[in-house]
């Protein structure tokens, strides 16, 4: 041991030329020591020789890459092994038999010393502009496990994401950025373990910077880096869904995996109890310096050593909390904004939590794009046929400027979506009126009750051709609205395959065919997959230039006009009770023009096409009455079928 080589930062295990440095924040009354495991399972115990404030650290010579370690505390007269909060890799797949015991901790909390070197083969990060970004939310395992075109050896793994068949699908669909459900190591909730189930989605963080070994063949670190490198080679970004609002340790009486044993102040407390603003038992306190450091250090690690392009923050309002209040100018947001590594990444907020003042849509600082539940609810309600949503759908089409001014675009473009991991898939939105979550083991009480869905006559699957045709049309209506709205479109990977979760709108614990994407497509599903791909490419060609022109200081030079079907400019009275309208977007006096017609009524509606600014012809981009994208010229007027949307551009 050579104490003169020891250093307090960075925290965690850091290899040196002669060994390894170990550093940890420790501010609890429990005595702390370092455990180094031998290959035969025995171990040696070491004291921390140095202190720097609350940082305990030491340097051990001879420790090499692959060494296994943990931190021991004595709690309730038992030796409990803690997982390093800065662990870069886990020795074992996280699991335990309820109740969690000190004995089990000695297997669960083993971390691996990692060498951060990796051959990135000169790849660079894609840096896709926000206006061109198409987000595809997916689960590492569920996206590839059942795809017969993928090498069987890599299905359901990190490497399955970059199998040639997966890459081909992503590029064919026109996806620019895949948003992975949490891949930081997750621990399953006790009630799931008791039922023999898992937290499939991964929203229960055990370690913030160790990739979950569940999705690796043998080496999660190398395999994940390889996957990201290959995606970057194909100009595809990787966005990580991260969970910094709570951890898997739960609330009062919960397990002690690491933070509880090192410093109780990692978490918010009220009157000695864990504050539960997340619905998961505890809430991380980002006003506490070690907590803020942990979040910032691990975010930087993902970017520096995994080349991650951005992050989607689960329950992000928690990160802006100063106890019961949300502050968009708090230390976390300021730290991100000034950080030379993080400020260039994409930052996506789920802008709420369940605590007081927890709904903060539109309140995040510049540089943050926010998921818009208002867009989701409006789009579903409008196409389901609910009345008095015409003004609202118009607002959402134009980028929800009631929430964020276009002067703050593109860096504040909303993230628009219809379906997400939580809730119905697109197929289920048009197939079920009610949730069917019985497989979750909670008597169908879990999951959202406000689905704004319909089955159009039959609950679930049907052979009725009329119902199938209407369901497919409604899927096209919602996707066309999504792709031709101002914002960043967020798509659910399962939707391209018309995947059904059998009416389950909360499949967080379903590591089963309920969640795994079904790649066995019937002709109707195959037709929709091709249509969606064509529409994504049409968006990039037609609406992206419009979004760019309407962003920032250039927006004042552009024109927006709303028309009634007979070609009149919409008046205040026209908005009340109307079921049809036409949106005309014009940049630079006719350099590019776009027309969007919407008919929510149950009868065909004839629209008069407005005159183009410059001599040209309107050309139909798509009409959701049809299952194929069929561009064709249109001159004077157009009859739009009931419950349809059509898009036109100038030639």
Catalytic sites, residue numbers: 314, 350
Our CA dihedral for 163, 164, 169, 172, rounded to 10 degrees, sits at: 150
Other beta carbons within 10 Å of 641? 15
| Secondary structure of 528-543 in HEC code, one letter for each residue | HHHHHHHHHHHHHHHC
- Contact in structure between 604 and 637 (CB atoms under 8 Å): no
Tell me if residue 273 falls in helix, strand or coil: strand
The 3-state secondary structure of 169-228 reads HHHHHCCCEEEECCCECECCCHHHHHCCCCCCCCCCECCCCCECHHHCCCCHHHHHHHHH
Quick one: which of 136, 140, 139 has its CA closest to 215? 140
**What is the CA 350 to chain-centroid distance, rounded?**
9
Neighbours of 352 (CB within 10 A): 19
CA distance 419 to 430: 12
CA gyration radius for the chain? Answer: 26
**Rounded Cα–Cα distance for residues 242 and 256 (Å):** 21
The residues, ordered by sequence, that sit 6+ positions from 367 with a Cβ below 8 Å of its Cβ are 336, 337, 343, 347, 411, 412
* Residue 208 CA from chain centroid, whole number: 16
> What's the rounded Cα separation, in Å, for the pair 539 and 485?
9
For residue 261 the two structure tokens come to 């044993």
134 burial level (CB within 10 Å; 0-12, 13-18, 19+): buried
């Amino acid at each position: 041991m050579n104490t003169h080589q020891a250093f307090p930062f960075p925290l965690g295990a850091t290899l040196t030329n002669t060994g390894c440095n170990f550093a940890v924040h420790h501010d609890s009354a429990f005595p702390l020591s370092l455990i180094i495991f031998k290959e035969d399972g025995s171990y040696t115990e070491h004291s921390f020789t140095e202190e720097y404030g609350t940082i305990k650290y030491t340097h051990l010579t001879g420790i090499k890459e692959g060494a296994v370690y943990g931190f021991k505390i004595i709690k309730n007269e038992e030796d409990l092994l803690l997982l390093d909060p800065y662990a870069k890799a886990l020795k074992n797949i996280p699991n335990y038999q309820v109740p969690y015991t000190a004995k089990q901790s000695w297997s669960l909390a083993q971390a691996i010393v990692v060498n951060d070197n990796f051959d990135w083969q000169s790849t660079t990060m894609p840096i896709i502009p926000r206006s061109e970004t198409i987000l595809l939310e997916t689960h590492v395992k569920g996206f590839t496990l059942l795809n017969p075109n993928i090498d069987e050896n890599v299905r359901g793994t990190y490497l399955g994401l970059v199998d040639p068949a997966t890459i081909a699908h992503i590029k064919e669909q026109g996806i620019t950025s895949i948003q992975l459900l949490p891949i930081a190591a997750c621990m399953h909730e006790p009630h799931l373990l008791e039922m023999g189930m898992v937290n499939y989605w991964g929203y229960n963080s055990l370690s913030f910077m160790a990739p979950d070994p569940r999705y690796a063949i043998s080496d999660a670190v190398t395999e994940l880096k390889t996957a990201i490198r290959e995606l970057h080679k194909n100009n595809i970004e990787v966005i990580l869904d991260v969970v910094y609002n709570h951890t898997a340790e739960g609330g009062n009486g919960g397990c002690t995996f690491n933070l509880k044993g090192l410093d109780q102040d990692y978490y918010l407390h009220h009157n000695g109890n864990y504050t539960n603003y997340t619905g998961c038992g505890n809430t991380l306190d980002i006003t506490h310096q070690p907590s803020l450091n942990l979040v910032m250090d691990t975010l930087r690690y993902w970017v520096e050593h995994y080349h991650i392009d951005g992050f989607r923050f689960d329950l992000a309002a928690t990160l802006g909390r100063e106890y019961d209040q949300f502050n968009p100018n708090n230390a976390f947001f300021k730290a991100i904004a000034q950080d030379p590594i993080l400020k260039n990444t994409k930052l996506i907020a789920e802008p709420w939590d369940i605590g007081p003042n927890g709904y903060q849509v539109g309140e995040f600082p510049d540089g943050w794009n926010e998921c818009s539940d208002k867009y989701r609810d409006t789009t579903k309600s409008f196409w389901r046929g609910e009345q008095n949503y015409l003004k609202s759908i118009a607002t959402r089409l134009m980028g929800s400027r009631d929430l964020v001014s276009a002067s703050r675009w593109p860096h504040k473009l909303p993230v628009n979506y219809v379906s997400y991991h939580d809730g119905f898939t697109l197929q289920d939105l048009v197939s079920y009126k009610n949730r069917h979550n019985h497989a979750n083991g909670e008597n169908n009480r879990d999951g959202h009750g406000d689905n704004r869905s319909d089955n159009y006559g039959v609950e679930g699957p049907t052979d009725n051709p009329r119902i199938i045709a209407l369901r497919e049309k409604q899927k096209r209506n919602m996707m066309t609205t999504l792709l031709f709205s101002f914002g960043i479109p967020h798509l659910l990977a399962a939707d391209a395959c018309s995947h059904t979760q059998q009416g389950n709108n909360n499949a967080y614990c379903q590591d089963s065919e309920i969640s795994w994407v079904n790649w066995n497509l019937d002709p109707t599903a195959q037709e929709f997959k091709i249509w969606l791909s064509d529409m994504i490419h049409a968006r990039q060609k037609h609406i992206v230039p419009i979004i760019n022109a309407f962003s920032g200081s250039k927006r004042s030079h552009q024109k927006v006009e709303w028309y009634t079907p007979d070609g009149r400019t919409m008046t205040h009275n026209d908005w009340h009770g109307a079921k049809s309208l036409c949106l005309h977007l014009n940049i630079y006096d006719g350099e590019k023009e776009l027309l969007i017609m919407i008919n929510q009524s149950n009868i065909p509606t004839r629209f008069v096409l407005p005159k183009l600014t410059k001599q040209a012809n309107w050309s139909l981009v798509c009409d959701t009455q049809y299952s194929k994208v069929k561009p064709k010229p249109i001159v004077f007027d157009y009859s739009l079928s009931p419950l349809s949307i059509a898009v036109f551009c100038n030639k």
